[in-house]
Chain A
Amino acid sequence: MATFTIPNVSIKGVACCVPPAIVENLKHSFFSQEDMEKFVDATGVKQRRRVEKNVCTSDLCVKAGEELLKSINWSPSDIEVIVLITQSADYLLPISSALIQNRLGISTKCICIDIPLGCSGYVYGMSVLGALMNSGKFKKGLLFAGDTSSKSVSKKDKSTEPLFGDAASATAFEYNENAAEMKFDLGSDGSGYEAIIIKDGGFRNQTTVDSFTEKEYQEGIIRNDCQLVLDGMEVFSFGISQAPKTVNALVDFYQIDKSIVDFYIFHQANLMMNKKIAKKLKLEDEKVPISLDEFGNTSSASIPMTIVTRLQNQINNKSSKLILCGFGVGLSWGTVYLETTNDFSIVNLVEY
């Protein structure tokens, strides 16, 4: 069972960047008003941000990173490790974290790692960066997490397109011998690999002309094989069972009293799913912030996006106890309990 602790690492601050263009679901260019009203009602996603064609995940990450470094007064030359979580890297290769290293002016001695996870990725990224840093070899590191999912979905697919928003985040990690241990529960279930998938364009199904043929799967679901497939029923069934399980596994294993946790920040999947998860865990509404109404499902950026846009007043420059939980594509899930320090810096949402 992947339940473990990481000592000596604390989070110094977090910043998020979104594109300025707002897409309103009730004014959808392809689906009817009636369809979209039902959609908004069930999923809670009213609007989201969409990048222009020439803007990539790394661009949003660089902007978030610059604002974060300014806010916490770190120099780029201080950074020794970068972990980037993304499923919409600039290129198939090289890794985008190296592009970020270069653009932020970070030393070439820096370690750069890309991890192609989605909704569970923020928590996974924390565990990877934390594990690299906790021995004290590296004093400062950055975790980037985000996606431009709008580039992966079909505009004619109502099971995906109106759900996803574009965003990226930067989180600063620091070696700190006084830090409270981060406590993790992580897991994976590859038997569900088809529940969220882009079928073509990898090396199992290399891109061919046929990859771009649009197929109608049912009314309102038209896409090609280079575009994202989301089996809504399968993912819903997975989410409402696995998310409560991983949170309970963590609090049971480490005997954490659920009532001492200030906020539970879940991946923003859809409102029906998130409400159900909170209900199963018997959490009070005010401890479970929601940001998907304004930004949609922002993949691995959804947890930091919720912190930046919904909790700034409550936890900025303050010591707080948080549980973060991500779950989705893989299938994969992760939960972390952490305590922020009283100089924890939440940067105002920036646009690029």
Chain B
Amino acid sequence: MDINSFVANFAGIFDDTDSSLITATTKFRDLEEWNSLVALSLISMVDDEYDVKLKGEDIRSSNTVEEIYNKVVANKA
């Protein structure tokens, strides 16, 4: 897995947010569409694509897309 494909997968969980707005350094909580229901889609995507169980605390303690990516990598290891 690499950060670029993770960013693309992350962008895929949004319906109304243009994928160009999602980069590794994007603070996802600042996105207008971000809410607790989108967070469930994130957990679901990470489970599907990486077979990793992302916990609520992993998301709460992260600010950027890259920080989530790092948690997925750490969980995978």
A240 engages B44 (CB within 8 Å) = yes
B59 engages A240 (CB within 8 Å) = no
Which chain B positions have C-beta within 8 A of A276?
A: 44, 47
Main DSSP-derived SS at the B contact region? helix
A233–B53 alpha-carbon span in the complex (Å): 11
With known contacts A38-B37, A42-B37, A159-B36, A234–B44 Cβ distance under 8 A: no
Which chain B positions have C-beta within 8 A of A39?
A: 37
B40 engages A272 (CB within 8 Å) = yes
Main DSSP-derived SS at the A contact region? helix
> Which residues of B33-58 have CB atoms within 8 Å of chain A's CB atoms?
35-37, 39-41, 43-44, 47, 53-57
Q: How large is the interface on A (under 10, 10 to 19, 20 to 34, 35 or more residues)?
A: 10 to 19
Which chain B positions have C-beta within 8 A of A272?
A: 37, 40-41, 44
Binary B-proximity of A194-219 (CB < 8 A = 1, otherwise 0): 01000000000000000000000000
Which chain A positions have C-beta within 8 A of B40?
A: 42, 232-233, 236, 272-273
Task: Confirm or deny: A107 has a beta carbon within 8 angstroms of a beta carbon on chain B.
Answer: no
Binary B-proximity of A35-49 (CB < 8 A = 1, otherwise 0): 000110011000000
Which residue on chain B has the smallest CB distance to residue A39?
A: B37
> Which residues of A302-351 have CB atoms within 8 Å of chain B's CB atoms?
none
With known contacts A272-B44, A276-B44, A237–B36 Cβ distance under 8 A: no
A233 engages B56 (CB within 8 Å) = yes
With known contacts A38-B37, A233-B39, A233-B43, A241–B53 Cβ distance under 8 A: yes
A50–B63 alpha-carbon span in the complex (Å): 38
Give the interface centre of B36, B55, B56, B60 by most chain A CB atoms within 10 Å. Answer: B36
Which chain A positions have C-beta within 8 A of B47?
A: 237, 240-241, 276
Give the interface centre of B47, B53, B56, B57 by most chain A CB atoms within 10 Å. Answer: B56
Partner of A237, one of B35, B41, B43, B60: B43
Which chain A positions have C-beta within 8 A of B59?
A: 233
Partner of B55, one of A42, A159, A233: A233
Task: Confirm or deny: A252 has a beta carbon within 8 angstroms of a beta carbon on chain B.
Answer: no
A233–B55 alpha-carbon span in the complex (Å): 7
Binary B-proximity of A67-95 (CB < 8 A = 1, otherwise 0): 00000000000000000000000000000
Task: Confirm or deny: A231 has a beta carbon within 8 angstroms of a beta carbon on chain B.
Answer: yes
Q: Closest Cβ of chain A: how far from B55's Cβ, in Å? A: 6
Which chain A positions have C-beta within 8 A of B57?
A: 234
Binary B-proximity of A263-277 (CB < 8 A = 1, otherwise 0): 000000000110010
User: Assuming A42-B37, A233-B60, A272-B44, what are 7 further A-B pairs, CB within 8 angstroms?
Assistant: A38-B37, A42-B40, A236-B44, A237-B54, A272-B41, A273-B40, A276-B47
* Chain A residues close to B by CB (< 8 Å): 38-39, 42-43, 159, 195, 231-234, 236-237, 240-241, 272-273, 276
What are 10 A-B contacts defined by CB distance under 8 Å? A38-B37, A42-B37, A43-B37, A232-B36, A233-B56, A233-B60, A237-B43, A240-B44, A272-B37, A272-B40
7 closest Cβ contacts across the A-B interface?
A: A233-B56, A234-B56, A42-B37, A236-B40, A241-B53, A237-B43, A233-B39
